[in-house]
């Protein structure tokens, strides 16, 4: 039995490694988005600084480990086998949640998932113990309800607090510095830089040195007793230092951003490390205590030892830091995950990937009305003065930056201070919540949410926040049931759950590799958005449009074949998949068109005037293809779903050759557009005309068949619709090919 429990503890550590890698990949946005969004340094430099911060934070993380040991449950009321059941359920649930949210493409928070998984697992076994146990225990004796409620409130209140202070502080900072901040730095930069760097130092002291595992008690006491003396001394020193650096032509804001990146990365590792390794380490401590007691009956050994302060061996913290750094440096996902947050906080319009929602539209409409009402109450001279402080035409942005260094500085300093406050109160604040909501608040204060983008930004913020709340509910419910299954199923159920976790890990890895194909298109868009070379932008736009049109034609050929096969062979499942795929492609095309329009706005004006007509004709043709395919598939699906008569054999025989020619025409057109070999375009147009004539002939033949008494009206109508829409498909392809040739050729 001891060997089985040892194997479970080892598996917990293996899952912890997975959590460390995925957690860093998912949460890299917390500490990278400000530096990368403002282009404070090269990407490699930012990664090196963040890696150092992660390593320092991981090796200094010790105090927060208490949350996993006795922050949610009261270990003295649980037996060893019960806690092992909870710990394993938490880690397995974590894998399931990551898989679900990655599949749906929704954001999640490792802090929220860990807290609510512990809460769900503990609640499940607490119900079992209360219902069947002879001890007569109550929830208050099993669950640390007061601490759990404090943790939950701290997590969710941080959303509103971070957004409010992000908006307020950035508004005041922009009033002080304006968008042309380099002309307003004569004396204010020293004060601002001194306060910012002191805040970062204070943050690192509170977050790191007070709880570092290798500091002796006297050192910790000295830091604690002299904190304010250290802070005041640092403030005076850094005010002078920042002013001197400014006089030496050093960009103080760049220094603040890079220091803030280091500090926030350190906070992420220190604050969130408990989410990844806290549970396995608690399991290891439980196993060590169980073995030290003589390894008796695991169902009779109470785990009061977990109430003692955590004494985490430094080697565990060191190895965790190494794994997190390797994950940050090597993970492609970590290198691209910042795009969501950066695009939502971008000063100008970006990739509004979330679209719009009814709630967002209502909120924007209400806030616009409220803003107009307040604006009428403000004196005109005050509004004029404020507007001149927010003159975007004077904005100073680095090449390809999404926002300036002033906002990046506020993002990092304010997020660090809020996390330091939560850490000093022993609350596992979600760095994701704080960093993201501060960034959203500062972008709102900077008037980045204009009329053209506000609804998309609000939808994005609501989607992210909604993902967090879903995380909480899903973590609690899944872990609740997994804990019950393991408790009643015993070792067999635990082994089955371990096998399930391994299967999910392998499947997630396969799915992620398939998603890498989409990264090429995203890279093109990012280069299109960040380049300042008009010729390069035009080349990128042409390539983006060409590849997109080719993808649409390839998709259309595949779906048209699947639709007609499903209709002829009465394959309802295939038809349903075709309808769903067409709807997804239609939504994707709207997002792609928006990206390309942003690119078209950045090309040379003379080229834009000449090419805009053909660009929109090609985009409209892509959308019309999807509508045409939908008009084909939906009647076919409804006909098969109702189990009506199948397509007669004579119709199948005459239609299949035409279907194959049309599919081949789509593939040929795709090849011509993808390779820009438009010399063959005239041949395609001739083939299209011949194909339309064949379809017209079949249409007349079928109209004649409908006059026969034994013909089915329902199948005839669906077949006629198929022929008519196939003709329309050929016409759309003709327009697309013509538009592409005119757009691509100089």
Q: Which residue has better confidence, 446 or 98?
A: 446
Whether 587 shows a pLDDT value over 80: the answer reads yes
Whether residue 584 sits in one domain with residue 508: no
- Count helices and strands in the chain by DSSP H and E runs: 28, 0
Domain of residue 589: give its range: 531-744
The answer to whether position 526 is within a domain reads: no
- Whole-angstrom Cα distance, residue 611 to residue 609? 6
Structural domains of the chain, count: 2
Structure tokens at 4: 């089985």
Whether residue 331 sits in one domain with residue 269: yes
**What pTM was computed for the model?**
0.68
The answer to whether position 523 is within a domain reads: no
The CATH number of the domain where 570 resides is what?
1.20.58.220
Arithmetic mean of pLDDT over the chain: 81
Rounded to an integer, the average pLDDT of 77-91 is: 87
Q: What is the pLDDT of residues 611-668, one digit of tens each?
A: 888 888 999 999 999 999 999 999 999 999 999 888 889 999 999 999 999 999 999 9
The pLDDT, as a whole number, for residue 366 is: 83
The pLDDT, as a whole number, for residue 299 is: 78
Whether residue 560 sits in one domain with residue 508: no
**Token pair 């609640």: residue:** 123
Whether residue 633 sits in one domain with residue 549: yes
Whether 116 shows a pLDDT value over 90: the answer reads no
Whether residue 576 sits in one domain with residue 492: no
The pLDDT, as a whole number, for residue 517 is: 54
Distance from CA of residue 365 to its chain's centroid? 26
**Token pair 């022993």: residue:** 426
Whether residue 562 sits in one domain with residue 468: no
Whether residue 708 sits in one domain with residue 616: yes
The pLDDT, as a whole number, for residue 423 is: 64
Q: How many residues does the chain have?
A: 746
Whether residue 536 sits in one domain with residue 631: yes
Question: In which band, very low, low, confident or very high, does the pLDDT at 466 lie, cut at 50, 70 and 90?
Answer: confident
Rounded to an integer, the average pLDDT of 514-534 is: 64
The pLDDT, as a whole number, for residue 654 is: 92
- Whole-angstrom Cα distance, residue 600 to residue 542? 10
The pLDDT, as a whole number, for residue 274 is: 67
Question: In which band, very low, low, confident or very high, does the pLDDT at 76 lie, cut at 50, 70 and 90?
Answer: confident
The pLDDT, as a whole number, for residue 556 is: 93
Whether residue 294 sits in one domain with residue 167: yes
The pLDDT, as a whole number, for residue 72 is: 79
Tell me the CA distances in angstroms from 472 to 119, 157, 466, 572, one per residue in order.
10, 14, 10, 37
Whether residue 439 sits in one domain with residue 546: no
How many CB atoms are closer than 10 A to CB 190?
21
Whether 720 shows a pLDDT value over 90: the answer reads yes
- Whole-angstrom Cα distance, residue 109 to residue 126? 25
The pLDDT, as a whole number, for residue 432 is: 73
Which of the residue ranges 138-152, 280-294, 386-400, 637-651 has the most confident prediction, judged by mean pLDDT? 637-651
Which of the residue ranges 341-355, 450-464, 582-596 has the most confident prediction, judged by mean pLDDT? 582-596
Whether residue 554 sits in one domain with residue 485: no
Task: Collect contacts of 732-735 with beta carbons under 8 A, ≥24 apart.
Answer: 732/621, 732/624, 732/625, 732/628, 733/553, 733/621, 733/625, 733/665, 733/666, 733/669, 733/688, 734/685, 734/688, 735/617, 735/621
Q: Which residue has better confidence, 60 or 201?
A: 201
10 Å CB burial of residue 426 (0-12, 13-18, 19+) is middle
3-state secondary structure 637-672: HHHHHCCCCCCCHHHHHHHHHHHHHHHHHHHHHHHH
Last residue of a domain, one of 479, 495, 518: 518
- Whole-angstrom Cα distance, residue 74 to residue 86? 13
Whether 338 shows a pLDDT value over 70: the answer reads no
3-state secondary structure 602-618: CCCHHHHHHHHHHHHHH
Q: What is the pLDDT of residues 283-293, one digit of tens each?
A: 888 888 888 88
């Amino acid at each position: 039995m001891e060997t089985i429990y040892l194997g479970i503890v080892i598996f917990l550590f293996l899952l912890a490694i997975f959590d460390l890698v995925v957690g860093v990949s998912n949460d890299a946005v917390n500490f990278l988005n400000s530096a990368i969004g403002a282009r404070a340094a090269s990407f490699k430099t930012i990664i090196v600084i963040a890696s150092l911060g992660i390593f320092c934070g991981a090796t200094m993380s010790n105090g927060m480990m208490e949350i996993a040991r006795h922050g949610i449950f009261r270990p003295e009321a649980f037996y060893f086998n019960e806690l092992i059941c909870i710990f394993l359920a938490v880690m397995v649930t974590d894998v399931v949640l990551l898989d679900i949210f990655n599949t749906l493409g929704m954001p999640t928070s490792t802090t929220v998932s860990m807290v609510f998984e512990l809460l769900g697992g503990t609640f499940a076994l607490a119900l079992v113990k209360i219902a069947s146990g002879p001890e007569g225990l109550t929830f208050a004796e099993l669950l640390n309800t007061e601490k759990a409620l404090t943790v939950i409130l701290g997590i969710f209140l941080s959303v509103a607090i971070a957004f409010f202070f992000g908006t307020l502080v950035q508004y005041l900072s922009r009033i002080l510095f304006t968008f042309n901040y380099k002309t307003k730095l004569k004396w204010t930069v020293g004060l601002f830089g001194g306060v910012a760097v002191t805040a970062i130092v204070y943050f690192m002291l509170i977050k790191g040195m007070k709880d570092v595992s290798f500091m002796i008690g006297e050192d910790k006491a000295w830091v604690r007793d002299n904190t304010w003396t250290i802070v005041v001394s640092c403030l005076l020193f850094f005010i002078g230092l920042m002013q001197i650096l400014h006089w030496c032509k050093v960009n103080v804001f760049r220094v603040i951003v890079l220091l803030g990146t280091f500090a926030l990365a350190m906070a992420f590792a220190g604050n969130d490390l408990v989410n990844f390794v806290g549970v396995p380490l608690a399991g290891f401590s439980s196993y060590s205590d169980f073995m030290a007691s003589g390894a008796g009956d695991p169902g009779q050994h109470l785990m009061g030892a977990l109430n003692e302060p955590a004494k985490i061996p430094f080697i565990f913290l060191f190895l965790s830091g190494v794994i997190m750094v390797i994950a940050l440096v090597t993970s492609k996902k970590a290198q691209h995950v910042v795009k969501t947050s950066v695009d939502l906080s971008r000063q100008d319009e970006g990739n509004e990937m979330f679209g719009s929602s009814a709630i967002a539209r209502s909120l924007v409409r209400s806030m616009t009305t409220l803003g107009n009402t307040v604006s009428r109450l403000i004196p005109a001279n005050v509004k004029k003065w404020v507007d001149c402080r927010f003159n975007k035409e004077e904005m100073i942005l680095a090449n390809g930056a999404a926002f300036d260094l002033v906002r990046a500085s506020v993002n990092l300093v304010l997020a660090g201070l809020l996390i330091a406050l939560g850490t000093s109160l022993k609350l596992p604040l979600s760095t994701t919540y704080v960093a993201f909501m501060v960034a959203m608040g500062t972008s709102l204060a900077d008037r980045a949410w204009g009329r053209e983008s506000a609804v998309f930004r609000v939808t994005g913020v609501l989607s992210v926040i909604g993902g967090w709340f879903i995380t909480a509910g899903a973590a609690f419910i899944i872990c609740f049931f997994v804990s019950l299954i393991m408790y009643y199923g015993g070792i067999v159920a635990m082994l089955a759950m371990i096998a399930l976790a391994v299967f999910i890990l392998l499947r997630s890895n396969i799915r992620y590799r398939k998603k890498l194909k989409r990264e090429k298109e995203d890279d093109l868009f990012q280069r299109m958005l960040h380049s300042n070379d008009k010729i390069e932008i035009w080349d990128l736009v042409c390539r983006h449009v060409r590849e997109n049109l080719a993808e649409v034609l390839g998709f259309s050929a595949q779906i048209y074949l699947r639709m007609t096969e499903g209709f002829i062979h009465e394959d309802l499942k295939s038809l349903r998949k075709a309808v769903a795929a067409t709807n997804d492609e239609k939504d994707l095309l709207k997002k792609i068109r928006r990206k390309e329009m942003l690119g078209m706005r950045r090309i040379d004006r003379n080229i834009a005037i000449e090419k805009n007509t053909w660009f929109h004709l090609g985009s409209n043709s892509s959308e019309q293809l999807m509508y045409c395919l939908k008009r084909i598939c939906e009647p076919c699906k409804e006909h098969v779903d109702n189990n009506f008569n199948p397509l007669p054999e004579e119709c199948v025989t005459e239609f299949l050759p035409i279907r194959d020619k049309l599919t081949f025409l789509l593939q040929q057109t795709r090849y011509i557009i993808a390779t820009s070999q438009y010399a063959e375009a005239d041949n395609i147009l001739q083939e299209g005309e011949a194909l339309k004539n064949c379809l017209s002939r079949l249409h007349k033949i079928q109209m004649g068949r409908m006059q026969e008494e034994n013909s089915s009206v329902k199948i005839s109508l669906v077949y006629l619709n198929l022929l008519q829409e196939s003709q329309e498909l050929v016409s759309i392809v003709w327009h697309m090919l013509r538009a592409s040739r005119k757009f691509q050729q100089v």
